[in-house]
Amino acid sequence: MSRRVVITGLGVVSPVGNSVDTFWKALCAGKSGIGLITSFDTTDFPSKIAGEVHDIDFTQFVEAKEARRTDRAILLGMVAAHEAVKRAGFDTPQADAERIGTIIGSGIGGLSTLETEHTKLIERGPSRVSPFLIPMMIPDMPAGRVSMEYGFKGPNYALVSACASGAHSIGDAFMMIKCGMADAIVAGGTEAVITPMAFAGFCSMKALSTRNDTPEKASSPFDVKRDGFVMGEGAGILVLEELDHAIARGATIYGEIVGYGASGDAHHLSAPAPEGAGAQIAMKMALSSAGLQPSDIDYINAHGTSTPLNDKFESCAIRHVFGEAVAEVAISSTKSMTGHLLGASGAIECIASALAITDGWVPPTINYEDPDPECDLEYTPNTSIKKTVRYAMSNSFGFGGHNACLILGKYEAPQVAG
């Protein structure tokens, strides 16, 4: 019998809330977390807006000395993991720790630390560079630190696939549990690159929105006025667990991962393949692995970055895969509220999809005012809707042509014969 994989823990740190409950309430209320950047001087930058995480005290989770020696991306991941692990009931030593793994992705890793220490190198010489530079910077360290914090000794690594990193991490965890390599895995993504270097690079690519006068409206997926994505930061962490293992512990079950698809565009460094060809492959693969038809999907949390090509070609891909069934599926881009969390985006959007199933609400695409004729699907404009969601699909696509698609289902307890 195939092993079923359920969700027993959720944790979020985001521009719209630093817990699962505040995050979800904000999404359903259509609240924007986008504002003018406060973390550095944006005078010389064409884009001056982002979705920053506010009101968070890392010393509530790690000692002050450790916080100073830890990159922001790692800290955000640790905070989200703290909530997820606590909800799952894994926050105390586990007898089967060798069967609990940690897979946390990041698109870029500790860029803030690299910038700071590089400045020291240039201005003050190599002896002034921190001995903690490497463990603060390398993208595997969120997974490493979380595993150390809780003593998890199962599969432990980071996955880097740009903006698909969080989704791929969850997909890998799903497959590992399904095939018996672990009984539970803490999985997701974290990112913190609202920094001068990252903004300089993305601005040079002309990838970021420059609608600085109205930050809260700048992320407008599928709208004809969209002019680029809005950077966000944060982390999303899930605890995935084999069903019998979860039942034996009496764990709360938030939903089930039922399908996973991954593909490559083999097309361009940053632009998606025409017609969303690679995305189509990932979505079809996910449906096939779940044993579902397009008509079974009630909600799609779209990648929906608010960039001209992504939104156009993702809409094409959905239309091709779903055919006539597209008329019945609700679609939304929660990036309209959170901004684009890069390597963490797929993870917090997977969490949003799980909550849509458990709560029966579909969050909106805000700032959808002037529909793009080339994006002609039902994007849940501006207001959340009440809807029974039995199956939800979450799409994530990254620079380099990396595509990931997750399908979540409402948990149905096994039928007992009698």
Task: For residue 365, give the amino acid letter.
Answer: T
Q: Report whether 56 contacts 79 (CB < 8 A).
A: yes
Kindly state the DSSP code that residue 340 receives in the 8-state scheme.
B
138, two tokens: 């390398």
d(CA 164, CA 155): 20
340 is a catalytic site residue: yes
Q: Which of 168, 245, 340, 402 is catalytic?
A: 340
Q: How far is CA 201 from the centre of its chain?
A: 21
**3-class SS at 208?**
strand
Q: Which of 28, 303, 375, 405 is catalytic?
A: 303
d(CA 12, CA 347): 9
163 is a catalytic site residue: yes
179 is a catalytic site residue: no
Annotate 39-108 with DSSP letters as a single string: SS--TT-S--EEB---S--GGGTS-HHHHHTS-HHHHHHHHHHHHHHHHHT-SS--TTGGGEEEEEE-SS
State phi, psi for 141 to the nearest 5 degrees. -70, -30
Q: Which of 163, 316, 350, 405 is catalytic?
A: 163
d(CA 53, CA 89): 26
By annotation, the residues acting in catalysis are 163, 303, 340
